[in-house]
Structure 1
Amino acid sequence: MTTFIRTSLKWVLPLALAALAFGYSFYRRTELSYWDGAVGNWLATLLGIVVGVPVALALERTRAKQEKEEQVRADQRVRQDVLTLLRAELLGAQQSIQYRTTLGTSVPVEPLNTSAWDAMKATANLRHVSAPSLIGSLSEAYRLIEFLAQLEQMLHRTVYGVNVQFQDGENASTKILRNATSYHAPATAAIDHALNEIEVALASTIESPRVDA
């Protein structure tokens, strides 16, 4: 019922005004001065519609296009910042892994850092790096980095806790360290691949894409 009333009221007022204008014109149909003014007003209204409406639509399209271009530029700035942070973190992780290859049987003290990656996931900023090849390479690189970090945490707990000795004479810490060392090369290769993908993605953000109207 409410919808019917709203629909009726929507049409009642325009029809009432049209009827009023028609009735008034019929009442003054014999006055030439009235029709001269009416025709002039009609032509002025027609001119306003013919010229004004296209101009208003063109201005609205221009405004909408400018807003869309600004949004694209803002997204690109965030994308560039995200990629720059991840590149710096991956380079740091790569250097840390290379340093670990020189330690031999020593236990690394400084943990591998993935704080930028964790922050991007927590704040949903990874939507700016949603290209399949890029997100795939980043995910693989950080998967191996995080796995190495877990092995090293286990190594620390073993060295400073209960370091069990197996029947073959090796301690648990030695086995864990050897296991972690075996992942240095795969992790380094995955980081190299991710860094290459980041460079390609950064290069694509230098030139702003064209936004069609």
Structure 2
Amino acid sequence: MTKAGSWRFLKDVRVWMLVGLIAGIAPAAWYGVYQIFKNEKTWLTSSYMIQLMGGWLATVMGVVIGLPIAAWLADRASAAERRKQRQQEERLAADMRARTLTVVGRELASSLPGLQEMASGTLTRFHYNVGRWNALTSSGDLKWIRTLSVIDDLAEAYEALEVVNVLASSWLTSLGTHRIPGEGPHLARQLAVEAANDATAAIEKALQTVDAELPQPVSAMERQSKV
């Protein structure tokens, strides 16, 4: 807590109104007592009055001094509680961000082997997982990834995967039926190969961005072993 923050309670108008009220009553009360007993020569020496005024002054001084101190202590306790809550929220956000990035990173990394084979002209897989990304998008959990550039790279990678899924399915269909109008299986293969190259580049870029955001970057081997 900063020094200015520690004394923030002094800006509370209610504190100063109460202190001012007490400080204003004190001289008025003293003057009133004086007017009542001014004709009594011994009123100031009276043990009763001395005790009465001494107790009254002690009470006034205690309130005037104690009230700001009590307000200061309450303000410090409130600030400490707010700071503790803010730290807990920051830890939760950091943990959820790491979990979310790890999930999508593993899903993207699982597509790389099949994409590399497709880019070489071999169709061994005609569908690539995008389910986790869709689930996170639908649930709103992408809010934990607060860096827009990271979200952009991930969205681009998954968009490229969606294109690959469509073209891989078309390629597979053309191999079985040979009924695609025009170029036939050759065109389907060419489009799928190009899409696989684009998706590979987009995924590798997204994984680099994810690794930069994670406290402990995950290697490609670790990702593939945990998918």
TM-score, normalisation: structure 2: 0.68
Whether the 8 Å CA contact 2:121–2:189 is kept in 1: the answer is no
**Deviation of the 1:174 alpha carbon:** 3.5
1:96 partnered with 2:96: no
Against the structure 1 CA distance between its residues 176 and 130, is the aligned structure 2 distance closer, same or farther, given a 3 Å change threshold? farther
1:198 partnered with 2:210: yes
Alignment-derived partner of residue 134 in structure 2: 118
Alignment-derived partner of residue 37 in structure 1: 55
**Deviation of the 1:153 alpha carbon:** 3.3
The share of aligned pairs that are identical, in percent, is: 18
Output aligned runs, 1:86-165, within 5 Å.
Answer: 86-101=104-119, 104=122, 106=123, 108-156=124-172, 163-165=179-181
Alignment-derived partner of residue 187 in structure 2: 175
| 1:14-39 deviations in Å (ceiling 9; x for gaps) | 9xx99xx89xx58x825444322211
**Deviation of the 1:100 alpha carbon:** 2.7
Question: How big is the alpha-carbon RMSD for the aligned residues of Structure 1 and Structure 2?
Answer: 3.1
AA at the equivalent of 2:200: T
Stretch moving more, 192-201 or 33-42: 33-42
- Structure number, greater radius of gyration: 2
Q: Which has the higher contact order (CA 8 A, sep 6+)?
A: 1
Alignment-derived partner of residue 10 in structure 1: none
1:188 partnered with 2:200: yes
Whether the 8 Å CA contact 2:121–2:193 is kept in 1: the answer is no
| 1:160-201 deviations in Å (ceiling 9; x for gaps) | 6682453xxx42x44223211111112111111100000100
Alignment-derived partner of residue 211 in structure 1: none
AA at the equivalent of 2:208: N
**Unaligned regions of 5+ residues in structure 1, if any?**
1-13, 206-213
CA–CA separation in structure 2 for the residues paired with 1:44 and 1:165 = 95
